[in-house]
Structure 1
Amino acid sequence: MTTIDWVIVAFYIVIAIGIGAWFTKRASRGTSDFFVAGRSLGWFVAGTSIVATTFAADTPVFVAGMSRAEGISANWFWWSVLIGQVATATIFAKLWRRSEVLTDVEFVQFRYGSGTYTTILRLFKSLFNGVFFNCVVMAAVTLAMVKVTTVLLDLNPDNWYSVLGLFEINSTWLVLLTLGTVGLVYSALSGLYGVVYTDMVQFVLAMVGSIGLAVIAYLDASSGEGLMAKLQASPDFNGDLLQFFPRFTELSWPLFIFVVYIMMLWWSSAPGKGYSVQRLLATRSERDAKLAFLWYAFLHYVIRPWPWIVVGILSLIYFPGIEDSETAFPLMIDHFLPAGLKGVMVAAMLAAFMSTIDTHLNWGASYVVNDVYEPYINPNAPQKHYVLIARATMVVIMVLAIIATTLIPSILDAFKFIGVFFAGLGTVLIARWFWWRVNAKTEIVALASTIIIASLTLKFLPNTTVDGVTKDLFTLRVLITTLSVAAIWITFAFITSKSPTQADVAFHEKMQIGGKGWYKVSAVQSKLPEGIVEWLLVMAILLCILLGTGKVIFHEWGIGFALLAVASVLLIPFIRSLKRA
């Protein structure tokens, strides 16, 4: 790191604090301003903010390391989520914005009406998502950032510093504590306004740095005897690493994993959740909500993946034999980027960490204040009081996340459990929009079933190790949990829901969803078939561009350009559909 690199990093931190100060007065007006930016965001800002938030500090490290160790096809672990998230854009985004709730947990009250079961469900979801889940994510991201900062900033973990004479921390944790505090300060001051507009700066830095690194490394690898020759000469390289799919000619565990990912893993992401829904609720209109998520999907699955994957694959040429594949990305940054551009990349990585922290703090506080404190503890206080409580809640969540970081071995186990847990809930979270029989009791039954079945699968289907090779049974656990939970809650819904309630009628009057699932409530014609057609169309376009780009990068010119040509043709009906949006 040269002086100019440090100047760039410092400049970003100053900008973040400045944005926080600029929006403080506006954010302090009430919870609508603090948590959903007064519903004022355009599609470009909202969509960019979502994709910036998903760029956590550990994301490029993970993707590059996974691509290096397991090959390009391993990325279907997250590429498969495209299926669900395109459904969010084409089917659910408008519905979320139409609901006008402040959080996705408040939707429980909106959908099911008041009652004991609704209260139990809302409180559980608020505390589980707002506190426990947020702390797990923030702890995992913080520990991943330790690895990144140690390499990029050349920090010596053996250097210890006293903090106010109370305790000592090493240089790496001192940097992360400082960055976390900055993120807390500007997000507590400015609410979602500060979060989304710092996200804009962070995303520009991240893409300039990532694309710059990939281009420089790619051009260097392509010189002399050529990229493919250099890869084949690497002792760690094998041809399967460049395969985009597992082999379909033989039954194998990778093929089973791929099929489950494509057929089932995306269900829980389809209706949208968490901070992505928060951005949709913050948009100006239903059209902005839809365009925001389409823009996010394009950036997330088309623009962003290949720089990380390319860096991971090419690291086999420059750093063969490294024990930890997740150090490949920071090592390539340190090796290739010149002064200035390295500062941009380091600032982007630090900004990504802060972006994750600030989003989870604001999002977590929205659950605690909007779904616990305001409705059940102090329902008639002034709006500025709730903003004050939100800021205090963010401080508490930050402290809990720091404590959680020290418990990371057990938290990682919990994180795997959460992955199975959310997969099991996917079917009921989709159905509650389209079927009047789903009620608060149904969703509680689904929750209880998920907890029990996910726990049993973890106990009786642990990962196995044969001949030193570990087989992760996560996918099998997801399959069993998802199908079992769906069978239980659907049976329960048929048995217990005999006729639509007043809450069902009120919900449908507002949402006007229609279709066979609401035939006992309304004869409104469903627009779901149109959404499904658009869902398939957008999926085809994004996948053709994603895979076509990768094929061209790794010199499979024919199929690569053919896929890109198909995407170009499909863009014509897609653009027409956008004009009708």
Structure 2
Amino acid sequence: MNSIDIAIIIIYIALTLGVGIWISKKASKGLDSYFLGGNSIKWYYLGLSNGSGMFDVSGTAWMVGILFLYGAKSFMFMWIWPIWNQIFIMIFLAAWIRRSNIMTGSEWILTRFGDDKAGRASHLIVAIFAIIASVGFIAYFFEGVGKFMTIILPWDLTISLGNGTLLTSEQSYALIIIFLTTIYTIKGGMFSVVATEVLQYIIMVLAGVLVAVYAFFTISDAQITSIIPAEWNSILFGWELEGFWDGKLQAFNDLIDSQGYKMFGAFIGMSLFKGFFASIAGPTPSYDMQRILSTRSVKEAAYMSGFTNLILFIPRYLLIGGIVVIGLVFLTPEMSTLSGVGSNDLEIILPKVINFHVPVGVKGLLLAGLLAAFMSTFSAFVNSGPAYIVNDIYKKYFKPEASAKHYVKASHLASFTIVIIGVFMGFFAESINSLTLWITSALYGGYVAANFLKWVWWRFNGWGYFWGMLSGLIIATLQYLLDLNKTNFEVDTWLYDLAQIPPIYVFPILFFVSLLGSFLGTWLTPATNMETLKSFYNNVRPWGWWHPVYKALKNEDGTITKNNNFISDMINCVIGIVWQSSMILLPIYFMVRAYPKALWTLMVFVITSVILKFTWLDKVKKYKN
């Protein structure tokens, strides 16, 4: 590490702490101020904050690896998550969520199902989901940032006690970074999180641009074209994904064959199926929903979500594309000689490029940017999780009447507790890694069906929501246990065959069982109170099967109108997905010097932007608030 790079990192950390602590005084007015910024933060700041929170280190390292191996087609791998939910949120869900005027995702559930036993069951399962997810992600961040810092930084921070090791270097690095991030996050709440994330976003973009410029001017077109096969630049695909690496790079084809994506047509089909329903289900109750609820109005919630898409993908993929270009030219010969290349080998492309192939100054800024990516995602989870502990559990069930100051102090304690538990889990990451994966995969797997139905079907009730999520959780857990023990089953047995199925192909089964649990839970229990349904529909005004509720409202107020925007919203979502995809492909094609493809992609981006201006933005401008 050059002293210039070290100085850049120290300056970044000092700036982040200074800004976070300086602005924290605004967070002491109450829970609304602490967790939502008092609904006073401007939409473009929240958009920058939301984009910054999605710019995580582990995800970036994974994207570098799959772009390196699969080429331009890798943008479709993002659909597994899926990233389309940002488009669906932008087009219509942000407005639906923000109209509720509440603080958390589980509190929002009460506006849909009421505050009786059924409503509280659905409310409680969402709150538990959010808390466990936050703890699990903090443990994941603890393990990830420690490994990343030890690869990049030269100092050994191992702390010994007698003949044993008290803290490894990875754990020491992780504790330092988490401690620094926790200081301003707990003290300042949403105000500090947003302020520091805006600063961190600027640093990440600057780092990405500098890496892209460095890669563009130090690596010639000839060097790139001599390494990259023609198929690398193509987004077209057939039923099977054929390996396109040849000669000394044949090992990369073997890796493609072993990763479970060989049947690429089926993989994309399942991704499309899952992506549609997971996107309509809406955001999980974490920092993304927190940003929507923090906006000043319904109109600004839509603006913020659209702005998040616009500012996230191009700068992020400039960084990823720059790293991949450097890796393709300088690391490909080295990696092709590895015996049995594995996916973990691809994950070291990012740190190897930073360590050996980035100049002084750019290296320091890039490290600061990646550190910022970690800190922004970590602080977002630390801010969102405690809201469910304090507002949805402590305040609702234990201490409904207390001063604003009391609840803010309780929020400090809840944040601190979540960090402590997450860090504790991180210390035992090797033994609880499977548990963390179970929590995230099972909970997210069981989330889709029930949260899809809550928007579109009036008869769906709180018990249906509870049993729908629980049945999805059970199937996802069984699938994960099979995957965990797949090496222990005898070959050619039905358990062995089931365990070999990639998780994406199990989704239809999970979705069907979760739907079955939702329908049975709904039909075997009474409907939600009509007054609750009328209040929800009148505020949110979703499309779907709401005719009995609409008819009841129409009899009371003849001026009420029905939402008939389903077709136009879906068309806008398709256009938005193409728009989003163009923002991923444009920097990739530019960085690998595929100029004709970059020009076509730019034209697609411009055309879809103009279409969305007339079909979406002009409609948003007409919102009353």
Q: Which of 277, 285, 288 is matched with 1:276 structurally?
A: 288
Inter-CA distance 557–347: structure 2 relative to 1 (3 Å threshold): closer
Which residue is 2:576 aligned to?
538
Match of residue 218 from structure 2: 220
Cα distance between partner residues in 1 of 2:219 and 2:289: 41
Deviation at residue 242 of structure 1 after TM alignment: 4.4
Structure 1 counterpart of 2:314, from 302, 307, 312? 302
| Cα pair 2:127 2:392 within 8 Å, conserved | yes
Displacement of 1:190 in angstroms is 0.7
Deviations 1:459-515 (A, max 9, x none): 45668689xxx9661112223212331244235435545575322122223323365
**Is 2:536 the counterpart of 1:526?**
no
1:517 is displaced (CA, Å) by: 2.3
Q: Aligned pair in 2 of structure 1 residues 286, 498: CA closer, same or farther (>3 Å)?
A: closer
1:570 and 2:608 are equivalent in the alignment: yes
* Whole-angstrom CA distance in 2 between matches of 1:558 and 1:437: 52
> Does the aligned pair in 2 maintain the 1:446–1:489 contact within 8 Å?
yes
Structure 1 residue 346 and structure 2 residue 367: aligned? yes
Aligned counterpart for 1:325 among listed residues 346, 362, 366? 346
Alignment map for 1:72-83 (pairs within 5 Å): 72-79=72-79, 81-83=82-84
TM-score normalised according to structure 1 size: 0.90
Q: In the TM superposition, what are the counterparts of 1:57-206 in structure 2 within 5 Å?
A: 57-79=57-79, 81-130=82-131, 132-156=132-156, 159-160=158-159, 168-206=166-204
Shift in Å at residue 437 of structure 1? Answer: 1.0
**Residue matched to 1:235:** none
Q: Which amino acid aligns with 1:206?
A: M
Matched, 1:3 2:3: yes
Give the deviation of 1:127 after TM superposition.
Answer: 2.9
Q: Which amino acid aligns with 2:214?
A: I
Structure 2 length normalisation: TM-score?
Answer: 0.84
**1:527 CA drift (Å):** 4.8
Distance across 1 between alignment mates of 2:106 and 2:299: 22
Asked whether the equivalents of residues 52 and 198 of structure 2 are also in contact (C-alpha less than 8 Å), the reply is yes
**Corresponding residue for residue 440 of structure 1:** 462
Partner of 1:33: 33
Any gaps of 5 or more consecutive residues in structure 1? 233-237
- Once the 2 structures are TM-superposed, how far is the Cα of residue 518 of structure 1 from its aligned partner? 4.0
Q: Quote the residue 2:238 is aligned against.
A: 247
Q: Could you list the per-position Cα deviations for residues 264-288 of structure 1 after superposition, in whole angstroms to 9, with x for gaps in the alignment?
A: 1453344122110100111111111
Secondary structure of 1:168's counterpart equals: strand
Distance in 2 (alpha carbons) for counterparts of 1:476 and 1:463 = 18
1:109 deviates by 1.5
Letter in 2 for 1:255: G
Q: Matches of 2:161 and 2:361 in 1, distance apart?
A: 32
Of all paired residues, the percent bearing the same amino acid is 21
Q: RMSD across aligned C-alpha pairs, in angstroms? A: 2.8
Q: Which amino acid aligns with 2:138?
A: M
Pick one of 547, 557, 572 that aligns with 2:585: 547
Structure 1 residues 460 and 181: alpha-carbon distance in aligned structure 2, compared to 1, 3 A threshold: closer
> What is the CA-CA distance between 1:555 and the residue it aligns to?
4.3
| 2:150 partner amino acid | T
Residue aligning to 1:261 = 271
Q: What secondary structure sits across from 1:430 in the alignment?
A: helix
* Alignment counterpart, residue 514 of structure 2, candidates 458, 462, 485: 485
Encode CA deviations 1:226-274: one digit per residue, 9 max, x unaligned.
3111x15xxxxx6655443543467952332222112214533441221
Q: CA 1:6 to 1:260, structure 2 compared with 1: closer, same or farther past 3 Å?
A: same
Q: Secondary structure at the match of 2:166?
A: strand
Q: How far apart, CA to CA, are the structure 1 residues paired with 2:276 and 2:55?
A: 19
**Do structure 1's residue 428 and structure 2's residue 429 form an aligned pair?**
no
CA contact (8 A) 1:268 1:424 kept: no
1:430, CA displacement in angstroms?
A: 2.5
Query: For 2:546, what is the secondary structure of its paired residue?
Result: helix
8 Å Cα contact 1:91/1:532 also seen in 2:
no
In structure 2, C-alpha distance between the alignment counterparts of 1:259 and 1:509, rounded to whole Å: 36
The answer on whether the counterparts of 2:106 and 2:126 sit within 8 Å (CA) in structure 1 is yes
Structure 2 unaligned regions, length at least 5: 243-261, 339-344, 492-498, 555-560, 621-625
Give the count of matched residue pairs.
Answer: 567
